Structure 1
């Protein structure tokens, strides 16, 4: 009898349904295509690699500045209306940017249009996390919630990494087969169709239940600035800086060997391992606590990054990347799990977009600084930056351990 009851308990996959996961996955693709697509079309139309890099950074800047605001709007007005408006706005901006780039407009207008693309970028990944966490809180029994949340964050992180591998690949195919503007037009169509479908999916209705009768969040804004949550944002910022500095310094490393085009292949070694290990987090035992996971896996990331000071060949670089891949995926999953656990009532979308923006800001800063140092000082100096970023992620894990211990002691005293 007990066995029948257990098997009848709904899983998140059954609650949300397969169409949800398919739509949410495809709806992420446009964002992964935007940055590379913008770079491709600017370099082709304007003949300036420097302007292309600045334009890509402008997209990231727009996303970082407006992403949390879109999350707050989704918490306030519901995901459905915000996503529908943003999908149409972003599709329009992508078309407009293409027209501006191929026109006679000044470079400054190109940069402004790029910021507009980033500002209207649909926050599908963080809003999907927020939506699924809400479904878990509502429909999954309490005893199964921690493992289900952990598994959900693992899937979401793996989906993000998969999309960011396929996104540039699709851009390359469309740009080669049709024209440099094709990836942006394709991204615009995908945005309107699939982000629209993501907005209209029935699961969007569940998120609004965390708001009060007056439509306001059930917790004050000050809850977003608790030390425990700020430490998670610091840690995820470190991961973002790592992504930006690692890819840029790796490109410089391979360029020194006249094989810059192979940087993406080597980077894939870390990406594949990271995605696989991220999914594996769902099967870790509950006794291996979240705060312990953060320390262990960010420690592996830091140890792998220290090998960058010794690499002298692509083979040695692959070994370092493989070790770092073991640490980076589970660290990211753990940080998102903390974000989900610490989200104030009615502000989960805001928290998730803050975390997502932390990665974007970190990537933009890391890529810009690493590129400048690699060009002016050299590759060896640039390879120190991923070590610094990994140290930030690990240090935030230590702070989180201390804060978690203090919180546990307070609960014990109160009890």
Structure 2
């Protein structure tokens, strides 16, 4: 059967799209397929995941008076994510996003809603830790699943000769969205904690999960029904997920998560010296300015500036800025260092997700992306716990060096990374071609991302 005009990246047939007016020429097939509301919906639905670790840390410290206990609860949430995240991704690959996201999201909303009552009550610390594990285990990873949806749509709506370019732009947008959310999330936690009360941030995350994660799960892009016109392709063996090139990307992403957790916790410890620790989320937001701008701009970098070279370049910038952060001894110095750190972290995260998209085994896209999402949140949680212990036992000055250690891991993973043996087709094109067997569930709606 011949491909439709929409499948070739041209103007869709208005009759095919259920009576909708023909799209304007400036619209992109990718957003025509996703729908105009998809991108803001997917952005807001990510916020609870980014608020989880910081919200748990802030609430436990405020209610139980221990930075160490707060860090341990953050780590417990990260352990839950580490254990369940890839399993949820595998379940999505097998059963589809809706069947997994709806019950998991509702469970997570309920657990988040119960957490402030448990922390403020007489429950022992071990019960609080157990609840933190369950919160992490049930956390819906909207970012990785959004990438999976968009990659599948690229395979259905973008002409083959333009798929790699659109994939690069899409990964840049998605990474910028993740990076922005991981800045905005702690910022919201800090704002709500300082303006109202620490429990409000967790309660807000519960409401956002109930409303927006459910809406994301039920969005038409969540229907990834097999296309009967194309033969289904068996997923690659699970051992493909532990190949060295992909593992180095996961380790690099873990380093990014460690960086996030170490930076926020050390900043909190520094500000707590004069009783303003609840402002940490506000100052942390400074890092998001340059980060989001450069993350979005990463798609415009020339192809000859390879992903591996970008990883090493921007990772090195991150390390240099983290060393400056470790040497800062005033709020002004820390803010300046945070601004420079944003210039390194945004493009680094874009690069890591772009490499993961290229290296993802066939039929394992959701699993691959959730591995990276889990690595970020696990790193953030572990660094929050470890840095909290350092603050309490060795002092703030020692804790300020923790982000530099995390950045060093990012650089080391980049130096160790080696591209896999070349394949007959470009890896990015293979990925979108493999996922194009899924039917586009929507009439086809305009893109800010990559026509």
Same fold? TM cut 0.5 = yes
Between 1 and 2, higher relative CO (CA 8 Å, sep ≥ 6) is seen in 2
Name the residue aligned to 1:95. 113
Give unpaired runs (5+ residues) of structure 1. Answer: none
* Counterpart in the other structure of 1:307: 324
Q: Which moved more, 1:182-191 or 1:20-29?
A: 182-191
5+ long unaligned stretches in structure 2: 1-8, 12-24, 426-451
Q: Judging by fraction of residues, say which structure has more helix.
A: 1
How is 1:184-333 mapped onto 2 (pairs within 5 angstroms)? 184-206=202-224, 217-255=234-272, 260-308=277-325, 310-333=327-350
Deviations 1:335-381 (A, max 9, x none): 00000111111111101110011111211222222222233233343
CA contact (8 A) 1:305 1:387 kept: yes
The structure 2 residue matched to 1:81, chosen from 74, 99, 103, is 99
**Counterparts of residues 64-75 of structure 1 (less than 5 Å):** 64-75=82-93
Matching of residues 18-57 of structure 1 within 5 Å: 18-43=36-61, 46=64, 50-57=68-75
- Measured on the aligned residues, the alpha-carbon RMSD in Å equals 3.1
State the partner residue of 1:155: 173
TM-score normalised to structure 2 length: 0.79
SS of residue in 2 equivalent to 1:18: coil
SS at match of 2:304: coil
Q: Which residue of 2 aligns with 1:115?
A: 133
Render the CA deviation track for 1:194-247: whole Å, top value 9, x for unaligned.
21221121212237669x978x85211011011110111111111111222222
Equivalents in 1 of 2:92, 2:101: separation in Å? 8
Write out per-residue CA displacement over residues 173-208 of structure 1, whole angstroms, 9 at most, x where no aligned residue.
Answer: 666777654444443332222212211212122376
Q: How does 1:364-375 map to 2 (within 5 A)?
A: 364-375=381-392
Q: Which residue of 2 aligns with 1:61?
A: 79
**Deviation of 1:386 (Å):** 2.1
Alignment match, 1:13: 31
Q: TM-score, normalised by structure 1?
A: 0.86
**Alpha-carbon separation, structure 2, partners of 1:249 and 1:175:** 18
For residues 93-136 of structure 1, the C-alpha deviation after alignment (integer angstroms, 9 at most, x for no partner) is 22343443454433322221221111111111111111111211
Task: Note closer, same or farther for the CA distance 1:201–1:366 as it changes in structure 2 (3 Å cut).
Answer: same
Give distance in 2, aligned partners of 1:161 and 1:108: 32
In 2, Cα distance between equivalents of 1:49 and 1:311: 22
Aligned residues: 403
The CA deviation at 1:30 is: 2.1
